[in-house]
Structure 1
Amino acid sequence: MSRRRLGYLLKHANLRLAQHTGPALEPYGVDGRELAVLNVLDSADPLSQQEAATRLRIDRTTMVAMIDTLEGKELVSRRPHPDDRRKNMVELTPRGRDTLRDGGQAVDEAERAFLAKLAPDDAARLRELLDKLI
């Protein structure tokens, strides 16, 4: 039965999770992918666009478009790399830090709601097992 195939189960679990996280992030004006970029950029040292793309495993063109969008929302700022003017360093703005904090809390709550059908130990175990797989 195809409903028991792992690909089917993972895909549909992700779709259900998105039904929780999408609305949770709406008040913050970002989606899950944008929040992931903010999360990667939240480091003590600014990252280049390329470094952020590598960490997220997305191509450079997609990252440039995402940074353009986040910059338009005043969540990140870019500046030339001090040693290589061909590179842009990207940093969170204060508004970006607030969005990451508040949006992250909203996603945490949405994930708890998504996992509410599971016993707490099962939910923790699911996270552990998925982490092992990736």
Structure 2
Amino acid sequence: MTRDAPPEVLTSRLGYLLKHAYLRLTEESSLALAPYGIDGRELAVLAVLDAHDELSQLDAAGKLGIDRTTMVSLVDALEDKELVERRRSPRDRRKNIVQLTPAGQERLQEAESARKEMERRFLAPLSSADATRLVRTLQSLIGAPMGAGQAPDST
């Protein structure tokens, strides 16, 4: 598929540039994750669950910035794929704790490798320093600064 050059009148508009960069990144991400049977949102859920010992569905939804209904749908889909499992919290029987299964751990590792490689290719037109600067600048704009000395992951 060939891409038409953007109209010159739009090439300096931040909204246009961010939107089209996002659309291209989303397209590349979908292609990279397709062999693993998950999409970017499901990968984000797996990553957040992996990063925390015991998260309820509601706590995970909060960390992901999504509503409760969307989280239930995502967890249902991941559970159907046998990548996560729900269990009652031993501390609060009203809460479901969601954890990765061994298959979920393996899928996360494989899909994360594919995501990182896709992002490396996506950012290839930039120098390494510019790619790092872009990620850090975007983190500043969304209020998610990195820890001191931590290299960007381009997520």
TM superposition shift of 1:4: 2.1
Mapped partners of 1:57, 1:127: distance in 2: 20
- Of 115, 123, 127, the residue aligned with 2:123 is 115
Mapped partners of 1:44, 1:94: distance in 2: 16
Q: After superposition, give the CA deviation of every residue in 1:70-105 in whole Å (9 maximum; x if it has no partner).
A: 000000000011232221000000111111111000
- Of 83, 91, 95, the residue aligned with 2:103 is 95
- Of 31, 42, 53, the residue aligned with 2:61 is 53
Mapped partners of 1:124, 1:83: distance in 2: 41
Partner of 2:132: 124
- Of 5, 12, 22, the residue aligned with 1:4 is 12
Q: After superposition, give the CA deviation of every residue in 1:6-28 in whole Å (9 maximum; x if it has no partner).
A: 22111110111122211110111
Q: How high is the sequence identity, in percent, across the aligned residues?
A: 58
Mapped partners of 1:113, 1:84: distance in 2: 45
- Of 27, 30, 37, the residue aligned with 1:29 is 37
- The two structures have a TM-score, normalised by structure 2, of 0.83
TM superposition shift of 1:44: 4.9
Mapped partners of 1:79, 1:33: distance in 2: 22
TM superposition shift of 1:58: 0.3
CA RMSD of aligned residues (A): 1.1
Partner of 1:105: 113
Mapped partners of 2:59, 2:52: distance in 1: 14
Q: Segments of 4+ in structure 1 off by > 6 A?
A: none
Bigger RCO of structures 1 and 2 (CA < 8 A, at least 6 apart): 1
Amino acid at match of 1:124: T
Mapped partners of 2:21, 2:83: distance in 1: 30
How many residue pairs get aligned? The number is 134
- The two structures have a TM-score, normalised by structure 1, of 0.95
Structure 2, unpaired ranges of 5+: 1-8, 143-155
TM superposition shift of 1:124: 1.0
Please identify which structure carries the higher helix content. Answer: 1
Structure number with larger C-alpha Rg: 2
Partner of 1:17: 25
- Of 120, 141, 144, the residue aligned with 1:133 is 141
